[in-house]
């Protein structure tokens, strides 16, 4: 028995000895203590592979989830300190030239592929910036995340094409959708559904207002990888026949019309490329999602239910998704701000960071520590705080971090010469979500503040 165990151990060791040099080439300093921890991470992780990968991030690459600062700055720290000296902090500010360059680039890229982009308002949450994007010839339609957005964009900006990205199950919310079509019969409202119960609710509202609502069937675009779910837990519909079944049920409701499908491959749109594990997962996901989407569209066509809209993607994979023959449009949003969690995604290298936060120094508790007011805007799900990016060499403390009412910043007084009232520049982990903490965004162009665009919050636009 001992001999068999020894042979088994020797066999395993030989395999490890063969495998380790390959990993050393990829990561530079991988040693034996990495293999078992990674195995433990996958075993102990919960339902989503991102949980496991995030826990083991520092074992594979310390910067997998974002570089500490962007490689490009239009303004120096001194210039920004002067530009924002009279602005109340914390404040959000936008480099308008960088935002416009991001728009120009995605518009050119999508034109090459002969598709269109729909703007995800969840990731922008500044209506004026959303409308600025819609001025581009290949960007059209709104991918909204709450019914309340429709009336605002409809009445103020005369928008007519809405796709509600998440199902609703509330009669008041359904009436908001139906009332939008009643106000303007040319308005097209498409609603996500993945359950017959959604259809019953929407039919009651649409019938009451005598309007038609479009139905987009949301199918599952996640994958299984290393025994875990990679992707987001959205729809229960996984098979073409399930999608066809729900689409066919729309015929039974006189005020509903099946319009198309959507699958959100979040595991491709928001995951970096600086890890062999991530890269393998994304390659597997790309292959499976091409086949899955094409299979669903084929099944719908054969059932006499050709989809008018086939939506997918995200800023981190919009080119790959738009390259699929069956796709008619892709959704982007976060790339236009380039929040820092997207830094490791190679396909997003051409996006420039454009949205920032400034905090103001209000005291110096000890040498080498400057305390700023407020700043604790942690992003949900990923549980990531902002990152200090200017002046270089500054960082938040480990013990307090970014706080509700104060944020201590560590710095070298021999290299950074702070004075009372100076600002600290940060990048935010997510794009739109932190803007729920601000009433407006300061717009900087050509070295000065040229205006203040209200956020959803500043517009009084409540979206949950």
14: pLDDT strictly greater than 90: no
Provide the pLDDT confidence category of residue 269 given band limits of 50, 70 and 90: confident
3-state SS, the chain, equals CHHHHHHHHHHHHHHHHHHHHHHHHHHCCCCHHHHHHHHHHHHHCCCEHHHHHHHCHHHHCCCCCCCCCCCCCCCCHHHHHHHCCCCCCCEEEEEHHHHHHHHHHHHHHHHHHCCEEEEEHHHCCCHHHHHHHCCCCCEEEEEECCCHHHHHHHHHHCCCEEEECCCCCCHHHHHHHHHHHHHCCCCEEEEEECCHHHHHHHHHHHHHHCCCEEEEEECCCCEEECCEEECCCCCCCCCHHHHHHHHHHHHHCCCEEEEEEEECCHHHHCCCCCCHHHHHHHHHHHHHHHHHHHHHHHHHHHCCCCCCEEEECCCCCHHHHHCCCCCCEEEECHHHCCCHHHCCCHHHCCCCCCEEEEEEEEEEEECCEEEEECCCCCECCCCECCEEEECCCCEECCCCCCCCCEEEEECCCCCCCCCCCCEEEEECCCCCHHHHHCCEEEEEECCEEEEEEECCCCCCCCCC
Provide the pLDDT confidence category of residue 54 given band limits of 50, 70 and 90: very low
CB atoms within 10 A of CB 289: 24
Taking CA atoms, 374 is separated from 78, 362, 404, 414, in Å, by 22, 10, 5, 26
Contact status, residue 124 vs residue 456, Cβ threshold 8 Å: no
Contact status, residue 387 vs residue 349, Cβ threshold 8 Å: no
Contact status, residue 337 vs residue 288, Cβ threshold 8 Å: no
Report the predicted TM-score, pTM, of the whole model to 2 decimal places: 0.84
Mean of pLDDT over the chain: 87
Cα 360 from Cα 458, distance rounded (Å): 22
5: pLDDT strictly greater than 50: no
If one compares 284 and 23, the residue with the highest pLDDT of the two is: 284
Lowest-pLDDT range of 45-54, 242-251, 414-423: 45-54
Task: Tell me the two tokens of residue 74.
Answer: 């239009």
pLDDT for res 114: 95
pLDDT for res 71: 55
pLDDT for res 51: 32
Provide the pLDDT confidence category of residue 39 given band limits of 50, 70 and 90: very low
pLDDT for res 42: 39
Q: Which CATH class is domain 96-348?
A: alpha beta
pLDDT for res 278: 86
Cα 367 from Cα 365, distance rounded (Å): 7
Lowest-pLDDT range of 198-212, 265-279, 392-406, 436-450: 265-279
Residues 6+ away with beta carbon under 8 Å from 376: 385, 401, 402, 403, 404, 407
Contact status, residue 332 vs residue 318, Cβ threshold 8 Å: yes
26: pLDDT strictly greater than 70: no
179: pLDDT strictly greater than 50: yes
Task: Tell me the two tokens of residue 22.
Answer: 């390959």
pLDDT for res 11: 57
245: nearest Cα among 213, 212, 219: 219
61: pLDDT strictly greater than 60: no
Section 224-240 average pLDDT: 91
Provide the pLDDT confidence category of residue 270 given band limits of 50, 70 and 90: confident
pLDDT tens figures, 92-135: 999 999 999 999 999 999 999 999 999 999 999 999 999 999 99
pLDDT for res 43: 38
Domain residue spans of the chain: 2-60, 78-91+352-454, 96-348
pLDDT for res 73: 81
% of the chain surpassing 70 pLDDT: 84
pLDDT for res 346: 87
pLDDT for res 35: 44
Please, what sign has the CA dihedral across residues 355, 443, 315, 234?
Answer: positive
Provide the pLDDT confidence category of residue 52 given band limits of 50, 70 and 90: very low
What is the CATH number that goes with domain 78-91+352-454? 2.40.37.20
Q: Do 96-348 and 78-91+352-454 fall under one CATH topology?
A: no
Lowest-pLDDT range of 54-63, 75-84, 303-312, 450-459: 54-63
pLDDT tens figures, 283-294: 998 999 999 999
3-state SS, 64-85, equals CCCCCCCCCCCCCHHHHHHHCC
Highest mean pLDDT: which range of 42-51, 340-349, 452-461: 452-461
Section 295-301 average pLDDT: 98
Dihedral angle at the C-alpha atoms of 151, 154, 159, 164, nearest 10 degrees?
A: 10
Cα 61 from Cα 281, distance rounded (Å): 16
337: nearest Cα among 357, 321, 319: 357
Section 35-62 average pLDDT: 38
352: nearest Cα among 343, 361, 364, 363: 343
The pairing of strands 309-312 and 395-396 is: unpaired
Section 263-269 average pLDDT: 88
């Amino acid at each position: 028995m001992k001999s068999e165990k020894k042979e088994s151990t020797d066999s395993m060791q030989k395999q490890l000895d063969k495998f380790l040099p390959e990993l050393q080439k990829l990561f530079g300093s991988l040693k034996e203590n990495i293999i078992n921890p990674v195995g433990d991470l996958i075993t102990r992780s919960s339902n989503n592979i991102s949980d496991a990968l995030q826990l083991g991030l520092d074992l594979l690459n310390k910067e997998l989830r974002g570089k500490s600062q962007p490689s490009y700055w239009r303004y120096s720290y001194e210039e920004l300190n002067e530009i924002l000296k009279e602005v109340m902090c914390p404040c959000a500010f936008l480099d308008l030239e960088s935002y416009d360059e991001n728009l120009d680039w995605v518009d050119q890229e999508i034109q090459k592929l002969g598709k269109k982009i729909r703007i995800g308002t969840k990731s922008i949450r500044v209506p004026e910036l959303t409308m600025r994007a819609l001025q581009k010839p290949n960007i059209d339609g709104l991918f909204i995340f709450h019914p309340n957005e429709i009336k605002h964009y409809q009445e103020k900006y005369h928008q007519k094409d809405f796709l509600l990205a998440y199902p609703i199950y509330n009669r008041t919310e359904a009436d908001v959708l139906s009332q939008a079509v009643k106000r303007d019969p040319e308005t097209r409202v498409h609603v996500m559904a993945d359950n017959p119960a959604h259809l019953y609710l929407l039919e009651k509202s649409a019938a009451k207002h005598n309007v038609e609502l479009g139905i987009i069937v949301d199918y599952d675009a996640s994958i299984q990888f290393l025994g875990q779910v990679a992707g987001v837990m959205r729809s229960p519909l996984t098979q073409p026949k399930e999608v066809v079944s729900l689409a066919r049920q729309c015929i039974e409701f006189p005020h509903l019309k099946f319009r198309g499908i959507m699958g959100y491959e979040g595991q491709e749109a928001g995951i970096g490329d600086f890890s062999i594990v991530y890269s393998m997962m994304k390659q597997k996901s790309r292959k499976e999602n091409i086949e899955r989407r094409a299979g669903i569209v084929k099944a719908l066509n054969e059932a006499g239910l050709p989809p008018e809209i086939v939506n997918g993607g995200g800023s981190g994979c919009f080119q790959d998704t738009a390259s699929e023959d069956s796709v008619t449009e892709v959704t982007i949003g976060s790339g236009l701000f380039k929040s820092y969690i997207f830094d490791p995604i190679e396909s997003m290298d051409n996006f420039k960071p454009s949205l920032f936060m400034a905090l103001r120094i209000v005291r110096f508790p000890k040498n080498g520590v400057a305390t700023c007011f407020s700043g604790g805007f942690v992003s949900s799900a990923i549980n990531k705080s902002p990152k200090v990016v200017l002046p270089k060499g500054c960082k938040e403390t480990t013990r307090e971090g970014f706080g509700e009412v104060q944020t201590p910043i560590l710095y070298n007084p021999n290299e950074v010469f702070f004075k009372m009232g100076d600002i600290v520049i940060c990048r935010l982990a997510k794009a739109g979500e932190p803007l729920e903490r601000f009433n407006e965004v300061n717009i900087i162009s050509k070295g000065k503040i040229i205006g203040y665009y209200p956020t959803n919050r500043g517009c009084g636009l409540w979206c949950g």
